Amino acid sequence: MNDAVATALVGVFGISGSLLMLFSALAMFRVRDALSRINVFSPATGLGMPLIVAAVYVYDIHTEGFSWGSLLMAVAAVLCLIIVSSVASNTLSRASVLSGQPVYRKTAPNRLARPPAGVVDEDPDSPDQPRAGA
Amino acid sequence: MTIVVSICIVILAAAVIVGLVRVLTAKDLGSRAIVSDLMYFSAIGMLTMFGILVSSSIVLDAIFLASMVGILATMALSRILTRGLR
């Protein structure tokens, strides 16, 4: 691989990956709650970081030649990034819902905002709660 | 090679700065956790680009290990959010 091709590939992969990270950081300002931020965080780890790994792998081929070890390492890094981002997003969104982080008021449908029917046990003898049949 | 890698470093540094501003202006803890996670990955990208800039031979190892252990910070932050409960 000659120098110009390597530079062009590193530039295309690296700059597009970096731009995805930057756009994801800018999107953190546009959405209003933690769950949507976790949602717009996915392009950064799902596509931006694998593109940066691709840039690094092209650079590695250019400087040290092809080897199966570095190919395995690059493929494992991409797979780890995708698995890590999905599992981490699941865990963090579950934690943010369980810890009661506010959800944007215009979110629709938002079935998590109120408990499902039959879950809340209301006291029928309570004076300030009118009876269902009364 | 130096120019494109420098452009990448500048873009990633801008992402880190935007994330820092967002962490400072965020109201809820979940947003701070996810933005700090984004800053972690941006810093990893900057580290690998610096490795290309100085012609280091371990950039692939660095990004491989960092992508493998990146889940630990997120797990720790989510456990902190739920105060240690699962």
> Tokens in use for B84?
């240690």
From the candidates B20, B56, B79, B81, which should be mutated to test the interface with A, based on the most A CB atoms within 10 A?
Answer: B81
Q: What is the share, in percent, of chain A residues with pLDDT greater than 70?
A: 92
User: What domain range is A75 assigned to?
Assistant: 3-98
Of B1, B51, B59, which is closest to A7 when you measure between CB atoms? B1
Residue A27 in any domain: the answer is yes
Residue A27 Cα, gap to closest chain B Cα (Å): 10
Residue pLDDT, tens place only, B11-62 = 999 999 999 998 898 888 888 888 888 899 999 999 999 998 898 888 888 8
Q: What is the 3-state secondary structure (H, E, C) of chain A?
A: CCHHHHHHHHHHHHHHHHHHHHHHHHHHHHCCCHHHHHHHHHHHHHHHHHHHHHHHHHHHHHHHCCCHHHHHHHHHHHHHHHHHHHHHHHHHHHHHHHCCCCCCCCCCCCCCCCCCCCCCCCCCCCCCCCCCCC
Higher pLDDT, A67 or A118: A67
Q: Has residue A47 been placed in a domain?
A: yes
Report chain A residues whose CB lies below 8 A from the CB of B33: 34, 92, 96
Look up residue A116 and give its amino acid: P
pLDDT digits (tens, 9 = 90+) for A54-82: 999 998 898 888 889 889 999 999 998 89
This prediction has a pTM of 0.84
Query: ipTM of this model?
Result: 0.88
DSSP state of B11: H
- Split into its structural domains, chain A has a count of 1
Chain A residue with minimum CA distance to B42? A21
Any residues with CB less than 8 A from the CB of A133 and at least 6 apart, and which?
Answer: none
A93-97 average pLDDT score: 85
Question: What is the per-residue pLDDT for A118?
Answer: 72
Examine residue A28 and state whether it is found in any structural domain, yes or no.
yes
**Interface test with chain A among B10, B11, B69, by most A beta carbons within 10 Å:** B11
- The verdict on a CB contact (< 8 Å) between A7 and B4 is yes
